[in-house]
Structure 1
Amino acid sequence: MNQNTINLIEQYYAAFNSADMETFLSLLTDDVIHDINQGKREIGKEAFSRFMACMNFNYKEQLVDMVIMATPDGSRAAAEFVVLGKYLKSDEGLPAANGQEYKLPAGAFFEICENKVARITNYYNLEDWIAQVSD
């Protein structure tokens, strides 16, 4: 496993957990590819920044039980974790928010270029999340 890539992904998630969007976004390439879970592909740091602004407005999340793996050459990485969240504001096309809490297993795959995240693909079970916030 490539320790530089592991460290990069650890920094990425530490910045996420501390809501340090400046550091979080600085770890991305300008043309980062973001494959949204069960959604579309967005390209560019500006699009990723808008996505995160929406997420931070509608949700409060912490990622725990993190396991990070990387290829020997450091060009790819994967992370498995649990999302501990609170649904703050209703998101378009989803159930109404009223502060519901959720616990959701998730994962992500990364492509790394020049020690920055060039692609991130996130996966979680949307049906499980909807069931948790619909109770």
Structure 2
Amino acid sequence: MAKVERHVENTKVESVAEKMLLSKSAVARQLKRMIGRVCENDYDKYQLLDERDRLMHRSRLKSTDVDNATVMQGFCRDMCPEKERYMRVIQKRLSIYECHNDGSIAPELTVKEYSRSAADQVKTLSLNF
């Protein structure tokens, strides 16, 4: 009887995980719907980027297989990810060194803030490196 209950519990856990994980085609459809959305202010831009990141996280498979892991290569165009810049503008956490003389943000001068890794944080997407 205990084995049957465990099997039922395991299948429930798997089905919940499957529902949370979206197929790449479903994510692509939802991302295409976001194209062309007009963002009036920094808060709207941040919300759009946050929604995009949540969608991309839902399609991501978590693997612990080191043998099949890929090495990330690329270059950084910005010193601070776009989403973080908007978040810092909204929260008024910009340094005076990251702003123009009129007080507006200077994206080319913003630098990514240090943040400690924590177990409850969502793993960073490669596009935010």
- Please state which band the TM-score falls in when normalised by the shorter chain: under 0.3
Given the two structures, how large is their TM-score scaled by the length of structure 2? 0.24
Higher helix share: 2
Given the two structures, how large is their TM-score scaled by the length of structure 1? 0.23
Higher strand share: 1
Structure showing greater radius of gyration is 2
